[in-house]
Amino acid sequence: MIQARLDELGWTLPDATPALAAYRPAVLDGVHLYVSGQLPMRDGRLTAEGPVPSPCTLECAQQAARQCVLNALGAARDALDGDLDRLERVLRLGVFVASEPGFAQQHLVANGASEALVELLGDAGRHARAAVGVLALPLGASVEVELLARVRA
């Protein structure tokens, strides 16, 4: 069902990005799936670098947040042995935005991730969220998104 919706939207999930350090991309614990922070990687390269709003514009950062969600879903699919339909509900997102001093629109950047989940999953994609401005992110990324979901055992 989720794959059919992805196809309908024309979205392709990437394979899970290998861990860049000493952690796992996703951990399944009973009915909870914890997806580690995902960077806006596509084809092995960052799609958005540097702080927001310069050099990465608000619109660029929103697209980067959407890419982070696609990467998180790819990691989720891997952790669920390829069966993304086990995903019942997204519970929480954490969105981290590399921010220039004075930038206070992290919530708008986070909407890029939130809106993608709702478009894909409907009400099951509505979630609690934190949107946080930070000085820097790994590899110089503009955005990082972590996800907590409830899954069918």
β-bridge partners, 29: 32
Please tell me the total number of residues recorded for the chain in this structure. Answer: 153
pTM for this predicted structure: 0.96
In whole angstroms, what is the distance from residue 6 CA to residue 110 CA? 20
Q: Regarding beta strands 87-98 and 128-134, do their DSSP bridges make them parallel or antiparallel, or are they unpaired? A: parallel
Residues 92, 93, 98: CA angle, nearest 5 degrees:
155
Residue type, 134: V
Using alpha carbons, select from 88, 92, 48, 80 the residue that is nearest to residue 66: 48
> Alpha helix locations (H) across 32-105?
58-79
If one counts every other C-beta atom within 10 angstroms of the C-beta of residue 103, the result is 17
Structure confidence by residue, pLDDT tens digits, 39-79: 999 999 999 999 999 999 999 999 999 999 999 999 999 99
- pLDDT tens per residue, the chain (153 residues)? 999 999 999 999 999 888 889 999 999 999 999 999 999 999 999 999 999 999 999 999 999 999 999 999 999 999 999 999 999 999 999 999 999 999 999 999 999 999 999 999 999 999 999 999 999 999 999 999 999 999 998
In whole angstroms, what is the distance from residue 125 CA to residue 68 CA? 15
Cβ 107 vs Cβ 137: under 8 Å: no
